[in-house]
Amino acid sequence: MNKLKSLFMILLAISGLQAQPTVKQVYLDKNQPMEVRVKDALSRMTLEEKVALCHAQSKFSSHGVPRLGIPELWMSDGPHGVRMEIMWDSWDHAGWTNDSCTAFPALTCLAATWNPEMSHLYGKAIGEEARYRRKDVLLGPGVNIYRTPLNGRNFEYMGEDPYLASRMVVPYIKGVQENGVAACVKHYVLNNQEKWRGHIDVELSDRALYEIYLPAFEAAVTEAGVWTIMGSYNKVRGQHACENNLTLMKILKGEWNFDGCVITDWGGAHNTKDAALNGQDIEMGTGTNGFSANKKNAYDNYFLADPYLQMLRSGEIPVSNVDEKASRVLRLIFRTAMNQDKPFGALCNQEHSEVGRAVSEQGIVLLKNSTKLLPIDGSRYKTIAVIGENATRSLTEGGGSSELKPKYEISPLQGLIEKFGADKIKYAMGYGSGAPAYDQVKSSPYNADSLRKAAIELASKSDLVIYVGGLNKNTHQDCEGNDRLSYDLPFGQNELISELQKVNKNIVLVMLSGNAYAMPWLSQATTLVQAWYGGSEAGNAIANILSGNVNPSGKLPFTFGEKLSDYGAHSFGTIAYPGDETKEEYREDILVGYRWFDTKKINPQFPFGYGLSYTTFEYGKISADKKEYSADDTIQLSFTLKNTGSRDGAEVVQVYASEPNASVVRPTKELKAFKKVFLKAGESTIVGLSVKVKDLAYFDENSHTWHIDPSTFVLSNASSSTDIVSSVKIKVK
């Protein structure tokens, strides 16, 4: 027997099949610490396998390590729903029948709820849908700051204020990642316009960068622990954002200690060495045409593919560079694709519909109700005219990468018919805009004069008019790839609204958009509702608000200026927006949004934080727990709030801070706390809010640190940025 065994071992050795001692695959053991697993997996990989982790293998997937049983990563566009399946190697829809989703409201609507609890429910629900669809990375949410109302992608973001965006993005991310799906916060950083987005070079001060444009991204990393970040297309101080030493290496991975992956926006990589050395981890969407190219595999021609491999082999780039990138990708895979504890997820269920409807209802903003047309008592009216293309148009189509294929979408007209009855509701289109298109303008097939004439005739013989208009997801509207061309409403709506006002005084204007717009008809309007893009349940949410079944409680997440020149970005000539085709200077500096309007004493059409209700609220005087604080203290503020009306409702209370005798230029006031408070009719409560003293600091460019003056600060409670109720002074040592 021993001779046979010896002979067998000799034969194995000769044949090269000598069995090696079994080494425990630590990276497969979920009970091992994450970094131990990453180190073990990395030690087993070839150089080629490490490089493969760093670039795409299809339009929406990147490599795993099949030899080691490490799966690939699958990504999907968001942030308002899980996008339909795309072909492996083209942008065509795959044509599946099981890739529908729940369409959630746009992020401007979520921000308008001013409710972090709603944000968590939103993130959890969309994360469940992504998990059920077997996605590992959801490409959202977006937190780029609302700098100009012309930006075509503002509807995907969370408004003009860094504090509001920070408080709303953290629970969204946590909700998504509870499902073992990575959120991918975008677009890092300064992608504040779509015009020339691929090359415009942004110049700005360190103060503006740190005080306005970075805080929401920092909160995503340091508070929410986001697992991925998407770089933006534009340049920042001369370098593309997807390969930027300042923003990726020094700030994101240095100051914030980000341990996740930087994913390029699709086509955001430009140079192998810059990408390798300046913080890029996974390259997606580079401009090859995949397997149809004349080369063996076009994905191998990505900057972080074969060109990267050759530089590693030659020693031009050290192997430690790819080890660091591969470690980040492995960490992401272990958190998502190889996470054995993640739930199964759910798709298009009733709970998700309810979340979407609740977000839409809480985000709808009542801007004007001077004659109390709202809430609508259906028994008062025999005929109700619904006018406007947006009453029937699908607003989940178009818009660019945020396009969706919802399982269903309740239009405003459907919701109103369900609420008030088909016998009362008559519809006229009023205007036409053409089919949704990402990169071209398609004209309407309908005759504009005929549409307008029919609408005016219907309005003239109706008891009540509900006009549903605004913007849509066509190019040059609320759409990726291009900015708006005008601050006015498109498709002749201003003229149509003015004509309708001449024939009927009972008009409820309901506007759907992700941006502000001019309102030349406002002085003649009695009733105005900003309803955003509400997703699958948009029509039901609008009907519930208009009927009074739900009390409006949304507040504006950005300022509505009267005219375009009111905005800081449009006050310094074209160099400040849109730039000179090559360079752009943020000359308004830290004075973005209401900071500009307040400090320059410009009256807005509607201010940041503004929103009416069907009930009324009475604020008490604000007080602080002490008069003097040190830099490490937290200021405890309190005041009474009473619902003095006859309806249950919610009020978003806001706290603003100012430093009257600052040593540097500071805004007149800045948002530092808020809370959505629900009260029954007649109920009162003591509202408690806290502000950390360190959050009163400004960024000192000379020392590159946050600095707080020993000074007197004023803290005020308010119902909007222009409606200050009371103030308290405190001293900081």
Would 575 be classed as within a structural domain? no
Domain span at residue 315 reads 1-70+266-335
- 523 and 631 share a domain? no
pLDDT in tens, 219-244: 999 999 999 999 999 999 999 999 99
463 a catalytic residue: no
Rounded average pLDDT over 17-22: 44
Banded pLDDT at 437 (limits 50, 70, 90) = confident
Q: Which of 518, 536, 557 is the last residue of a domain?
A: 557
The pLDDT of residue 288: 62
Would 136 be classed as within a structural domain? no
Would 457 be classed as within a structural domain? yes
The pLDDT of residue 53: 98
- 539 and 680 share a domain? no
Residue 455, by phi and psi: left (phi above 0), alpha (psi -120 to 50) or beta? alpha
Percent of the chain with pLDDT over 90: 93
Q: Which of 310, 335, 360 is the last residue of a domain?
A: 335
Q: Are 275 and 283 in contact (CB under 8 A)?
A: yes
The candidate with the shortest Cα–Cα distance to 200, out of 149, 234, 242, 153, is 234
Would 26 be classed as within a structural domain? yes
- 549 and 634 share a domain? no
pLDDT in tens, 74-126: 999 999 999 999 999 888 999 999 999 999 999 999 999 999 999 999 999 99
- 684 and 653 share a domain? yes
Map 570-581 to HEC letters: HCCCCCCCCCCC
3-state secondary structure (DSSP) of residue 642: strand
pLDDT in tens, 374-391: 999 999 999 999 999 999
Banded pLDDT at 20 (limits 50, 70, 90) = very low
- 283 and 361 share a domain? no
- 409 and 324 share a domain? no
- Give the whole-angstrom CA distance, residue 312 versus residue 572: 47
The candidate with the shortest Cα–Cα distance to 252, out of 283, 286, 224, 229, is 229
- 304 and 407 share a domain? no
Would 222 be classed as within a structural domain? no
- 314 and 436 share a domain? no
Would 562 be classed as within a structural domain? no
Q: Which of 557, 591, 609 is the last residue of a domain?
A: 557
* CA 689 remoteness from chain centre: 26
- Give the whole-angstrom CA distance, residue 80 versus residue 505: 36
Exactly one of 161, 265, 478, 483 is catalytic; which is it? 265
Rounded average pLDDT over 483-509: 98
Rounded average pLDDT over 700-712: 96
Average predicted confidence (pLDDT) for the chain: 95
Rounded average pLDDT over 529-548: 98
pLDDT in tens, 323-346: 999 999 999 999 999 999 999 999
Would 356 be classed as within a structural domain? yes
The pLDDT of residue 22: 53
Does residue 7 carry a pLDDT above 80? Answer: no
Banded pLDDT at 295 (limits 50, 70, 90) = low
- 358 and 394 share a domain? yes
- 630 and 549 share a domain? no
- Give the whole-angstrom CA distance, residue 563 versus residue 431: 23
Identify the CATH number of the domain in which residue 727 sits. Answer: 2.60.40.10
- 535 and 654 share a domain? no
3-state secondary structure (DSSP) of residue 354: helix
Distances (CA, A) of 276 to 137, 179, 198, 332, 333: 22, 31, 20, 18, 20
Identify the CATH number of the domain in which residue 433 sits. Answer: 3.40.50.1700
Would 232 be classed as within a structural domain? no
What pTM, to 2 d.p., does this model score?
A: 0.95
pLDDT in tens, 317-329: 999 999 999 999 9
- 296 and 440 share a domain? no
Q: How many domains does the chain have?
A: 3
Handedness of CA 450, 452, 457, 459 (dihedral sign): positive
Distances (CA, A) of 609 to 503, 553, 593, 606, 674: 33, 11, 11, 9, 10
- Give the whole-angstrom CA distance, residue 317 versus residue 273: 8
Q: How far apart are the two ends of the chain, measured CA to CA in Å?
A: 88
Burial of residue 593 (CB within 10 Å: 0-12, 13-18, 19+) is buried
